[in-house]
Amino acid sequence: MTTNADITLYNQWYNRVTRLIEWKRVQIPGVSWHGGIVTDVTGNGLQAANAYIVRIPLDAAPAGRTFACPEDWAATESDDLGALWTIQPGDILINGLLADDIAKASDLTAKYGSRCCTVIGWKDNRRGSAALQHWRIDGK
């Protein structure tokens, strides 16, 4: 897989004690980032939106962290989140490696604009030959 970008993924996690969403940052170098404006003609006229496809090769997975499905991520205690990462709708992706800690998603979208997208779907494509295995993220 040809890679062309490094990303920072902000995973959302609901803290059951404070009842607030917390954002956990993970940097992932060596991914495929493809995006742009897509258009569609509907009954309401021409509609345009940003659309992104990001592929994370298996060998680009964050070192020292284990991938957790969203259900396992949500059930994990705060102290154990540093050993995990996930992909789930509502997470935020930024093109580039960032060190920003955030309290809310708008902290990123206001600052980075077109360099960021919100995860709307993902697929676990860890099958087939090692060279093809990856996670696919669809964003808007």
Write the pLDDT tens digit of every residue in 88-122: 999 999 999 999 999 999 999 899 988 999 999 99
Nearest Cα residue to 8 out of 62, 52, 57, 79:
62
pTM of the prediction? 0.91
Quick one: which H or E segment has residue 75?
Answer: helix 70-75
Residue 81 has pLDDT above 90, yes or no: yes
Distance, CA of 42 to CA of 44 (rounded, Å):
5
Distance, CA of 3 to CA of 59 (rounded, Å):
11
Q: Could you tell me the two tokens for 132?
A: 């093809």
Residue 39 has pLDDT above 90, yes or no: no
DSSP 107: H
